[in-house]
Copies of this chain bind each other. A is one copy, B any other.
Amino acid sequence: MLDQIDKTLLSNLQADSRFSAQELGELCGLSASQVSRRRQRLEADGLIRGYTAKLDPQRVGLAIQAFVQVQMAKHGTEPAGDFARLVELRPEITSVWTLTGEADYLLRVYCADLEELNHLVQNVLLAHPHVARVQSQIVMSQLKQDAQLPL
């Protein structure tokens, strides 16, 4: 299990993965060498999946964020695998979930403009043989932005 030091470590690495082992040690009351060892363990155990740069979507030219709900015409393993391959191919679809409730899939999408979003909905999603209905909701504002996981 995770002890308090692990939690502090993970929390700080979520906040900024560029902290040096020395800085992390000061933040959680440990020596740099112990921090290194713990971090290696957390990586090996798969609690830390990797390290990534957070980009500003606006500034990299992605003005439109949207959530797209997709309903399938028929259910079954074959349409599902087919759809999974489709979303894997489209880089503007960054996340896909299946939820309890009405819609079959919820997609998170980043696009340069409305035209690109429309193209995705009309010519990619609705063009798919098993897709019955697509409803997109555009993000108007983001009050809280991909905050840390609570530990």
Contact = CB atoms under 8 A, between A and B. Distances in A.
Interface in A73-111: 84, 87-88, 91-101, 105-106, 110
A129 interface: no
A115 B97 CA distance: 22
A48 B54 contact: yes
A13 B53 contact: yes
B53 A143 contact: no
Most buried by B among A60, A67, A95, A146: A60
Contacts of A62: 149-150
Interface string A107-124: 000100000000000000
Interface string A125-151: 000000000000111111111111111
Interface of A: 2, 10, 13-18, 45-57, 59-62, 65, 67, 84, 87-88, 91-101, 105-106, 110, 137-151
Given A10-B55, A97-B140, 12 more contacts: A2-B61, A13-B52, A17-B52, A18-B51, A52-B52, A57-B149, A88-B143, A91-B148, A94-B146, A95-B146, A98-B140, A100-B140
